[in-house]
Amino acid sequence: MLKGRLQAMTNSKTYFVAGAGAFGGWTALHLRRTGARVILADAWGPGNSRSSSGGETRIIRGTYGPDQPYTHLTARAFALWHEHTQRWGKKLFQRTGVLWLVRGDGVYERASLAVLREAGIPAEEISPAEVARRYPQMNPEGVKWAILEPESGLLYARQACQAVAEAFETEGGELRLAAVARLEISGGELRRVHFSDGTSLTADAYVFACGPWLGSLFPDVIGDLVRPTRQDVVFFGTPAGDTRFTEKQLPVWLDRGERIYYGIPGNQWRGFKVADDTRGEAFDPTNGERTVAPEFVARVREFLALRFPALQHAPLVETRVCQYENTPDYHFIVDQHPAAGNCWLVGGGSGHGFKHGPALGEMVAAAVSQGKTPDPFFRLSRFTR
Find residue 8's DSSP bridge partners. Answer: none
What span, in angstroms and rounded, lies between the C-alpha atoms of 126 and 141? 14
> Binning pLDDT at 50, 70 and 90, where does residue 258 land?
confident
pLDDT digits (tens, 9 = 90+) for 234-245: 999 999 999 999
What span, in angstroms and rounded, lies between the C-alpha atoms of 361 and 356? 8
The overall longest dimension of the chain from CA atoms, in Å, is: 65
Q: Are 207 and 180 in contact (CB under 8 A)?
A: no
E-strand ranges in the chain read 14-18, 37-42, 57-60, 93-95, 98-102, 124-126, 145-149, 153-156, 174-177, 180-186, 189-195, 200-201, 205-208, 227-236, 252-256, 260-264, 272-276, 316-326, 333-337, 340-347
Q: Are 168 and 365 in contact (CB under 8 A)?
A: no
The closest of 202, 250, 286, 271 to 101, measured between CA atoms, is 250
Average pLDDT over residues 304-310: 97
What span, in angstroms and rounded, lies between the C-alpha atoms of 60 and 48? 20
pLDDT digits (tens, 9 = 90+) for 204-226: 999 999 999 999 999 999 999 99
Average pLDDT over residues 142-168: 98
Which run of H or E residues covers position 2? helix 2-8
Tell me what pLDDT residue 344 has. Answer: 98
Residue 7 buriedness (CB in 10 A; 0-12 / 13-18 / 19+): exposed
pLDDT digits (tens, 9 = 90+) for 7-38: 445 689 999 999 999 999 999 999 999 999 99
Tell me what pLDDT residue 3 has. Answer: 44
Percentages of the chain per state (helix, strand, coil), in multiples of 5 = 30, 30, 40
What span, in angstroms and rounded, lies between the C-alpha atoms of 250 and 263? 10
Q: Count Cβ neighbours within 10 Å for each residue of 161-195 and write b for 16 or more, e otherwise.
A: bbbbbebbeeebbbbeebbbeebeeeeebbeebeb
What is the value of pTM for the model shown?
0.95
> Binning pLDDT at 50, 70 and 90, where does residue 178 land?
very high
For residue 5, pLDDT over 70 is answered with: no
